[in-house]
Amino acid sequence: MGDRILAVWALGVVLSLGFSTNATAAEKLMKFMVKDGAIAKSLTGKPGDATKGRKLAISRKQGNCLACHKMPIPEQPFHGEVGPELNGVAGRLSEGQIRAMIVNPKMANPNTIMPAFYRNEGFTRVLKKFKGKAMLSASQVEDLVAYTMTLK
Amino acid sequence: MKNHFQGILMGAVVVGLSGFAGIASSAEMTYKAGDRSSGYTYATKETQGIQDDDIANPAYVYVDDGEALWSKVDGKAGKSCASCHAVDSAMLSDVGTRYPVYNAKLGKLQSLEQKINQEREEKMVAKPYKWESGSMLAMTIYMRNQSKGKPMNVSIDGPVIPFFEAGKKFYDQKRGQLDMSCANCHVDNAGNRIRANLLTEGQSNGFPTYRLKWQKPGSIHRRFRGCNKQVRATPYGYGSDEYVNLELYVAWRGRGLSVETPAVRN
């Protein structure tokens, strides 16, 4: 209880000092077009970095794809069993389909447990700290697309 | 603030056998009822061993504390629980299987914690316990422990129906930035690993449960708050109507499983 009051108070101070650019209002996302279940174009207009993408897939704070997917990342001990194994996925899906899957898998399957990594609204009771924010930035999504495309 | 998604994944390492048949150390325990399994069946042999041994189980001191509180006079009326309820009363032997229950005067469900505080305020004229306090945990652990081995058996009939429906709706609602429902993890993925954590059916028959990660027992509402926060959803308050309704629904999901209080989990 005390925590919540403190948090509201702190936010008020931040707002009144004009520091807060993203704590309340939804952050702007890059525009993208979905066609036939795919997002053909890079969100940033540039290709991503597969090495960074691999790191994000491991990171418990950000991508954390390993939470649910088995991936060819042998140095990590625990791979999730919630989603399909991703090794070989680039042979099954196009780059645009993979991008759409990471951006918002609910477009393909509204009931999937997989989170949308590039969506910032339409959620229920998001913690204040994450309100209006997407889990990943556009360039992080592209890094993950680039890495996932190496899983042939 | 702690990153909660990270929280689940960094939690204690669980290396259990999913679907373990459950050869109980005490023959009366039912760890599987129909298609439902207690979290006990997913726990490691080691964790099961701690739960099975009343001396090794660190939550047993709460059973003793609760027993002492039961007959301790408190409040302006000069009464203890024992002034009105015999220690061997039928009420005490099955109360742990039945709550939350419908309270006609309140027109809604009441959890065991809320019933205890109602008795304290109305009958004993004593101060209510704070939800997650040592005294409340001792009293609820002591009371539920009197029902250990008996099947979970909440009523979902008559006036309870709308509250049950609300609990079910809560359970199936996706929440938080990760946009996951309780059912996504505990129905669709029970038995699957989410990184290092083995997901169970999320049954409540062991609560208040001693969590090795907490180094302390906690109420079922504490667990609900943790599960809400790990998907980056704003939790509800201890004793909120939302959580009491959810508690009923979760207890019904575990119908027939033995009360295990105080259980031990990762």
Chain A residues with CB under 8 Å of B1 CB are 129
Query: What's the confidence (pLDDT) of residue A25?
Result: 58
Decide if pLDDT at B22 tops 90: no
Q: Please indicate whether, in this complex, the C-beta atoms of B6 and A61 are within 8 angstroms of each other.
A: yes
Confidence band (pLDDT; 50, 70, 90) for B9?
very low
Residues B100-127 have pLDDT tens digits of: 999 999 999 999 999 999 999 999 999 9
CB pairs under 8 A between A and B: 88
The CA distance from A37 to A100, in Å, is 7
The CA distance from B252 to B157, in Å, is 11
Residue from B170, B177, B182 to probe the interface with A (highest A Cβ count within 10 Å)? B177
What is B2-265's CATH number, 1.10.760.10, 1.10.10.10, 1.10.340.30, 2.40.30.20?
1.10.760.10
Query: What's the confidence (pLDDT) of residue A27?
Result: 78
In this complex, the residue of B179, B189, B233 whose CB is nearest that of residue A127 is B233
| Whether B84 is catalytic | no
Residues A69-91 have pLDDT tens digits of: 999 999 999 999 999 999 999 99
Residues B77-102 have pLDDT tens digits of: 999 999 999 877 888 889 999 999 99
A61 and B CB contact within 8 Å: yes
Q: Give the residue-averaged pLDDT of B17-38.
A: 68
In this complex, the residue of A68, A116, A125 whose CB is nearest that of residue B233 is A125
What does the radius of gyration of chain B's CA atoms come to, in whole angstroms?
A: 18
Confidence band (pLDDT; 50, 70, 90) for A10?
very low
Confidence band (pLDDT; 50, 70, 90) for A6?
very low
Q: Report the CATH fold assignment for A23-148.
A: Cytochrome Bc1 Complex; Chain D, domain 2 (1.10.760)
Residues B182-206 have pLDDT tens digits of: 999 999 999 999 999 999 999 999 9
Chain B residues with CB under 8 Å of A82 CB are 189, 192-194
Concatenate the DSSP letters of all residues of A56-111 into one string.
HHH-TTTT-GGGT---S-TT-S---SSS---TTHHHHS-HHHHHHHHH-GGGT-TT
The CA distance from B253 to B205, in Å, is 10
The residues, ordered by sequence, that sit 6+ positions from A110 with a Cβ below 8 Å of its Cβ are none
In this complex, the residue of A67, A130, A133 whose CB is nearest that of residue B9 is A67
Considering the entire predicted model, what is its pTM? Answer: 0.89
